[in-house]
Amino acid sequence: MLGKLQDLCVMITFDLSKPWNIMSSIEKWMKVIESICDSRRIYHLMTTDLKKKVSSHIQFYFDPSTAEENVRLSEQEKSEIAVQMENPKKNFGIPIFLVGCKSDALQKRYDATQVMEKFEAISLLAG
């Protein structure tokens, strides 16, 4: 069971045709994830290592389409830098993917610039 927990991820989907519901939907599912994690005794045995792994991934992530290869840190260099455990704000030690469905409805309602602004706002709020 312990080995399988490391391979777990969660995907939260939300309906972009109803943008006013996005944050409440994300918050609802984050509470569900939190209650499941809190109720699992075995999860608490690994929680520190799992949270560190998620925080480390976020801290050292680089966008391959914009970052140059020589900017990437080696595993040795990464191990010498303290992991910033406060990011993400809600860290369950499980990667959580937010997926917007029905993006065509959002694109019909707003122009491309407004759509990008809304996606950026969602990513900042979801933290």
Instruction: Read off the pTM.
Output: 0.65
The confidence score (pLDDT) of residue 2 equals 46
13 forms beta bridges with 99
Task: Please count the other Cβ atoms lying within 10 Å of the Cβ belonging to residue 92.
Answer: 20
Convert the pLDDT of each residue in 15-38 to its tens digit: 888 878 888 888 899 899 888 877
Average pLDDT over residues 58-79: 70
What is the distance between the alpha carbons of residues 52 and 8, in angstroms, rounded to a whole number? 15
Contacts by 62-68, CB closer than 8 A, 24 or more apart? none
DSSP per-residue letters across 61-102: ---TTTS-GGGSPPHHHHHTSPP-TTSSSS--SS-EEEEEE-
When pLDDT is cut at 50, 70 and 90, the band that residue 1 belongs to is very low
